[in-house]
Amino acid sequence: MNDMRPVERIVDTDKPKIAARGCQVYYGENHAIKDVDVDIEDKAVTAFIGPSGCGKSTFLRCLNRMNDTIDVCRVEGDIRIDDEDIYDRKVDPVQLRAKVGMVFQKPNPFPKSIYDNVAYGPRIHGLAKDKAELDEIVERSLRRGAIWDEVKDRLTAPGTGLSGGQQQRLCIARAVATEPEVLLMDEPCSALDPIATEQVENLIDELRQNYSVVIVTHSMQQAARVSQKTAFFHLGNLVEYGETGQIFNNPKDPRTESYITGRIG
């Protein structure tokens, strides 16, 4: 119909945002992550799926060095964000975690006001030069967390007084307040009701415009709804990784097929 349409180009998605090579994780004698290689895209949602105990959370925690906080845990291999080795001695894990934000299963607002929950990170990282700038960061973050309209008239009220779904969106606002580039979410909806889950899923879909989002989920339906890429883990191995549609409709590995058809899990 339209001869003038532009010639379709294959967009070079070029460099991955996160690249892991030969990643091993041990908890004492327990070899929890076995030689994982993966490239994670920028501006996309990647889902980690697999049976309970297969290592999804463990691998997620490698990506912002949260495993450093677990005494018995040992991480080996090479993990790069924008080609920078995040386990390099010169990397400060506190700075890294501002750049690679995390949202947990159970909403965990600080016992502080809604405002202070979001202002906390920008304050410790010195991101605002004055109160007006901090106010702007707080508003922008709450908007990104899709919760501004619900809390703008009660910013001094405690964050813990919000509903579960609102608390989780507040935690997402808190995570984005330090201008991260990657957002890690470990089963962020598992404590939420279906309506709050839908709101958070919609938010995740918006967030991918600005961030590389990695979400652990035990819900295959959720992975299919929110992600573009899916990684299937089994017994500490990354068994299969690809476009979400391919993983669910045309899995290559029999273990993936068993899991998605409900035979293992």
Ligand X SMILES: Nc1ncnc2c1ncn2[C@@H]1O[C@H](COP(=O)(O)OP(=O)(O)O)[C@@H](O)[C@H]1O
Q: Is 2 left (phi over 0), alpha (psi -120 to 50) or beta?
A: beta
Q: Among ligand X, Mg ion, none, what binds residue 13 when CB lies within 5 to 8 Å by partner kind?
A: none
Of 20, 49, 54, 213, the residue at the interface with ligand X (CB under 6 A) is: 54
Q: Please give the DSSP secondary-structure letter assigned to residue 229.
A: E
For residue 234, the minimal CB distance to ligand X (Å) is 10
Residues 1-30 vs ligand X: string with x where CB under 6 A?
Answer: --------------------------x--x
Name which of ligand X, Mg ion, none residue 30 binds, using a CB cut-off of 5 to 8 Å depending on partner kind: ligand X
In angstroms, what is the minimal distance from the CB of 203 to ligand X?
A: 22
Answer for which of 32, 98, 134, 224 binds ligand X (CB under 6 A) is: 32
Q: What is the DSSP letter of 236?
A: T
The entry of Mg ion, ligand X, none near residue 27 (CB within 5 to 8 angstroms by kind) is: ligand X
Footprint of ligand X on 56-115 (CB under 6 A): 56-58, 70, 72
| 195 interface partner picked from ligand X, Mg ion, none, CB below 5 to 8 A per type | none
Q: Is 263 left (phi over 0), alpha (psi -120 to 50) or beta?
A: alpha
Outline where the chain has alpha helix (H).
Answer: 56-62, 93-99, 114-124, 131-144, 148-151, 164-176, 194-207, 220-226, 244-249, 254-260
Strands 73-81 and 18-27 turn out to be antiparallel
Q: How far is residue 48's CA from residue 223's CA, in Å, rounded to a whole number?
A: 8
Which range binds ligand X by CB under 6 A, 2-10, 49-57, 146-154, 168-176?
A: 49-57
Q: Minimum Å distance from CB 27 to ligand X?
A: 4
CA distance 231 to 242: 7
Choose the stretch contacting ligand X; rule: CB under 6 A; options: 52-60, 114-122, 155-163, 166-174: 52-60
Q: Which two tokens stand for residue 69?
A: 């906080």
Q: Please identify the residue of the shown chain whose CB is closest to the bound Mg ion.
A: 57
Q: 52 to 71, contacts with Mg ion by CB under 5 A?
A: 57
Distances (CA, A) of 85 to 10, 67, 93, 121, 186: 29, 16, 12, 23, 23
Amino acid at 93: P
Instruction: List residues binding ligand X (CB under 6 A).
Output: 27, 30, 32, 50, 52-58, 70, 72
Instruction: List residues binding Mg ion (CB under 5 A).
Output: 57
